[in-house]
Structure formats: C-alpha cells, structure tokens
Structure 1
Amino acid sequence: MTVRPAIAVIGRRARKVSGLRFAATVAAEAVCDAVFEAGGEPLVLHGGPRRALDGLPGRLTAFAGVVVPGGSDLDPSHYGQRPHPRTAPDDPEQDLLDLAVLRAVLGLDLPTLAVCRGLQALNVVCGGTLDQHLAETGVGHLDALHEVTAEPGSRLASVVGDAPFKISSYHHQAVDRLGRDLKVVARAPDGCVEALEHTRADVLAVQWHPEDLAGDSPQDRALFADLVARAGTRKEPA
C-alpha cells in the first residue's frame, strides 16, 4: 500500500464556526482537497497556546511538507510599519504562528507551498516589506481573475510552464521590498509580484489562490502535485 506523505496545512484561528460552541482551528476544504487529490494526506496543524511555538520545529519534523494558506492581513508592526487605513489584521496569535512556521521550514528545509498571505509572511520573515494597499492599475487583484507568467528557467516554470495562464486572485497587499534569499519568479501584467522562490530552502510561494481553480487549471493542480512530489522524496533529518 502506498503511504501518502503527510502535509501540514497550517490552521486558521476562527472565533466562531457553525456547529461548534467554541473557537476553532480550521482549514479551507479546497486546500485540503487539492492536497489530497495530488496524493498527499492533509493534516491541520493547530497553533495552540503561545508556548507551543517553542517546540514548533520539532513538531513540523513529523510532516513531509507544509502548506501555509491565505488569510487576513499581517500586522505591519512585523515589518516595521504603521498600519494603512485599509490594513485589517485580525489575530495576533495567527501572525505569530505563521511567521514561526515559515522560520522553521526555512531552517528545516521542509518542502513548502505558501499561498497569498503565506507568500507575504515569507517575505516578511526574510526581512522584506509589504505594500499595504495596492494602487489601482487596471489589473484586478481583489476577487478577480488575471494572467500571470512564470519566469523562464525558474523552478516555478518547470512546474507550471512559461506560458501565461489565468489565476484566482484575492489580495489587496503585495510584496514591496523583497526579502533576502528570495527571487521573484512571476508577475502580473501590472508588475505586481505573483510568485517567489527561496534560493536555498525548498519553499515556493504564490500570491494567488491555486486551490480555487485546482479542479480545472492544470497549472494550479501542478503546484499541489509538485509539493506532494517534493514531500515524497524528502529525506528525514539526521
């Protein structure tokens, strides 16, 4: 029997969920479905109390790969800025969890796919900053479809090809100053950064939501297949 590689989907903290009396740790069904259809076993990682972050790298070694999904805005204090009027961070504990996860996966060289807010958190962990509210350019970024093109010769292009394709976009923030050890590997037609690769660690990040169109888009489906493939060949740390 083939064993599916365990993929940690970093849980989102929710103050209220239908059917539960208390706050919850949840994951988008579309993300879990995309991981499962690609051959992985999606498992939601609970952040827990703040003290649980101290043991996070050890907890993550139980997994073969990680998805850091989308969510609300990061508090701009994490990258040394005051909030823009349109910036809306909503959970300090979620910020701490996502940033800690990304620091850990960089140290562990754990195969990772970071999505939307996950890409932004990766850039912040690497010392970069964010444009807190994108100017209107004629390219829709919030609840819209638009084209992206992977940089020829990039790892991303080896996964999705280097021809333009449509993606599902839902964000109003984006990379401003690029973090260290990161390379831009895709842009929107207006120049907005749409994908990053880490130059040393096994981390690929996209600004769009590949789970939205994974059932129909071969490029989005390939991103999850690539993560599971990377996870399936990962060697356990000594």
Structure 2
Amino acid sequence: RVLIVTADHGHVIDDGTVQRGQGEGDRWRLPSGTPDASELVFEGGRVKTASGNVVVCIWSEGVRHGAKKNGYHGGVSAQEVVVPLSVFTLRNMVLKDWQVAAASQPDWWAPLEAPLPAGGAEMPALPKKLPKAKQLAAPTPQIDLFGGALPVAAPDPVVHWIDALQASPAYTAQKALAARVAPADPAVRSLLEALAARGGKLSKAALEQRLGMPAMRISGFVNAAKRVLNVDQAAVLVLDETARTVELNRELLGRQFRVTVR
C-alpha cells in the first residue's frame, strides 16, 4: 500500500501580534470598508461567504482579529495556505507519474561541509594564542539565514586527476571486477567532483542534492562506487550510515591507483 499523510491547513503562532478591527474569523472578515496594508481581497466562484463571493484575508503574520490566542488561522500567509503532503512507499516501489526528488538542503546546514581552499591545499591550523592586534578589523556582516543558500564553493580547479584516475589500468581492472555493479564513468566523476569540491566529506542529504539522486538510491550508488574505488578494500570511499556521511580519502586514492590527485 501507499500511505499518504496530509492536513488541511496550518496556522501562525502569536508572536507580538496586533489586534486590528473585528472579523468573522481570526484572520479573515467579510468585505466592508477599504482593506489595509495587511489584507488582501479574494473574489470568485470558489469563495463562499454569507455575503457572496468576496472575502478579505490577512497575509501578515503580525495582525489578528479578535482576542489574543496562542495561534490563529484563516489568513493567507504561507503557513496557512501551503498543504503538507508526505507519501510513503516500499523502498523499490515506483508510482506512475511520480518522481522522487532529492531533499533540498542549504549549504550552511552541515558544518562539516567546509570547502578546502583553491588547489586542494590543507587548511592552516589556527594558532593556540592569537597575537595582539593593533586595531580590530570590521566584523563580517552575517548572511541572511533565509535569503538563499550560501555561495557554493567553486569546483576544485585541479580536476584532471579524475581523468587520470579513470584512464589508469587499476581503474579499468576494478571496473572489470565489479562488472555490472560498476557505476558509469560520468556518475563516478560527478561523485568525486562533489566530494572534492567540499573538502572530501559530505552528508548523505547534501550529496543527494548535488547529484540530483533520490535518497533511496544514494547508499546503493555509493556502495557500487566503493566496489570500483576501494582497491583491496582500502578505505578510499567510506559510507558511514550511522553518521549519514560520505567521505573520500584522496591521498589514499592516489596511492592505490598510482595517480597524482593534487
């Protein structure tokens, strides 16, 4: 069976709201007078009220009608009009006309995804004791938390090592051993580029997003890539299901396949 969990609407939490006028609902009223800046007028055949086909709804989260409560609904803020929907199936079930989408995750969500400097150089260690500064530098402005994802780090400029890797005799031999399990070369390249661009380590959710791959497929794909990259079971590519991370050891990869990775 397919299980669908949904709801009719959400609500806004009272956080310093201001009462403005009276209404038939917490956040809507029948049309009378001129709507203010916090209201929108909706009219049409799908609107049914005691006065006809017109209703005035509040869009601002900071305004309410009537007495103060813990929360309100009936307006047209995003929380009140977006309907949540979760669809659960068996792992390998395919629904006709449905496509599994990778979860969207901003870059700042997981601190472990700090990119290496350009060229793949190691991050310098911070001194234990900072020297005294003659003048404090101006603080860096904080980013807008909900203004979009942080700028994605530029791909590793030294990527020719992937070409050398996939052209090496060891890589060809590993693909032959893996046979039908071996992922296609472009898929392995995408995996390596995604990991290299973020310092060699990514959360599974971030990797799913970067590869555009459904969550249910990512573990199988990484395990298949391990069959090719982990020569003699060396831990070149590591999938940690407990921590939900994927890590690439580029130095070990270079030794195993006899290629220069920097």
Q: Is the structural similarity TM-score above 0.5?
A: no
- TM-score w.r.t. the length of structure 1 is 0.23
- Point out the structure with max Rg over C-alpha: 2
Q: Which has the higher strand share?
A: 1
For CA contacts below 8 A with separation 6 or more, give which structure has more relative contact order. 1
